Structure 1
Amino acid sequence: MKQRSLMTLGALLLTLFLAACGGSPGNTAEKTSGISVPVNETDFHIDSAVTSFSPGTRYHFVVTNNGKTAHEFMIMPSSQGSMGGMSMGDMDHMALASLGNVKPGETKTLDYTFPSSSAGSHPELACYLPGHYEAGMKQSVAVTS
């Protein structure tokens, strides 16, 4: 009985501590997910609300496909141009981060932190599904120091 009372008291103290610190399951998720970056994909365009990023900052990309066909979302280290002869697996290995197959009407999220070594670089947001990049699904961004 004494052990049960101690456990109840411990749970109560933990709850009060979290409340005093502003912690709750909802707030914790917001704090750990980083700066929200809305990205809109359409047929055949990528539009990111943020185009300048800081190394060491965690970004939470919220990618919504508002097009009528499936797309992907890749953060490439720099503009790669058309990579028609390269396999999707090779492109995935080159990508800093990626989301595969974002269906029409679907939203997917991706957390990414640009490393300090990327300061001064110009990565590219892109979709490399066949013909999509060539049709304009790319956006140059910058990582500033």
Structure 2
Amino acid sequence: MTVRNRLSLAACLWVLSLPVMASPAGHYDFGQPAPAASATRTVEIDMTDMAFSPRSLEVKAGETVRFVLVNKGQLLHEFNLGDAAMHAAHQKEMLEMQQSGMLTPAGMSHGGMDHAAMGHGSQPMPGMKHDDPNSVLVEPGKTAELTWTFSKADNLEFACNVPGHYQAGMVGKVKVAP
């Protein structure tokens, strides 16, 4: 076996050893993605630079909510549903994306929001994508949607995990009532 083949094999084994992330069809303790047509309520959330409006939400367990996310700021923002630990982990991923040059203050460096096409150079970088079903990036002046069916949850938040935004206060609470 040549050195080149050994390196290729080692790279493949390394990729296969990476932790498996939730798939777009994944299920979370606090709910799951849903088609917009199944929503029983629509909530518009305005994103300004370092703030959400409204800052808190109340939903019922089993309720399907269609979020319409309007970025009225000058920076790229994210709407991500999860608990504080999930946000902390995702912030590390977002920082890596920023450091690699894929994430810029106003958007993604690949020129569009086709998350599946993101990579570094011509070789895709494992884990370097933004396609979690509980999250959406919204460029300045743009609108996006996310539809979610909630289940019982404690300490649920919606947050922007673009580096520094959560820490600047771009986080809100979601209360899931029985």
**SS at the partner of 1:128?**
coil
Is the contact made by 1:124 and 1:138 (CA closer than 8 Å) also made in structure 2? yes
Q: Distance in 1 between matches of 2:49 and 2:80?
A: 16
Q: Which has the higher contact order (CA 8 A, sep 6+)?
A: 2
Aligned twin of 1:130: 163
Q: Measured at CA, do residues 65 and 72 of structure 1 come closer, stay the same or move farther in structure 2, by a change above 3 Å?
A: same
Root-mean-square deviation (CA, aligned residues, Å) is: 2.9
Q: Which runs of 5+ in 1 are unaligned?
A: 1-28
Q: Distance in 2 between matches of 1:59 and 1:85?
A: 25
Letter in 2 for 1:144: A
Instruction: Give CA deviations for 1:22-76 in whole Å, capped at 9, x if unaligned.
Output: xxxxxxx986333001111111011237611111111000000010111111011
Q: Distance in 2 between matches of 1:84 and 1:37?
A: 24
* 1:98 aligns to 2:97 (yes or no): no
Letter in 2 for 1:57: E
Q: Distance in 2 between matches of 1:75 and 1:125?
A: 5
Letter in 2 for 1:79: A
Q: Distance in 2 between matches of 1:97 and 1:41?
A: 17
Is the contact made by 1:73 and 1:98 (CA closer than 8 Å) also made in structure 2? yes
Q: Distance in 1 between matches of 2:143 and 2:91?
A: 29
Residue identity (%): 31
**SS at the partner of 1:143?**
strand
TM-score by length of 1: 0.64
**SS at the partner of 2:84?**
coil
Q: Which has the higher helix share?
A: 1
Q: Distance in 2 between matches of 1:46 and 1:68?
A: 14
Q: Which runs of 5+ in 2 are unaligned?
A: 1-34, 95-126
Q: Deviation above 6 Å: which 4+ runs of structure 1?
A: none
TM-score by length of 2: 0.53
Letter in 1 for 2:160: C
Count residues in correspondence. 110
Q: Measured at CA, do residues 47 and 79 of structure 1 come closer, stay the same or move farther in structure 2, by a change above 3 Å?
A: farther
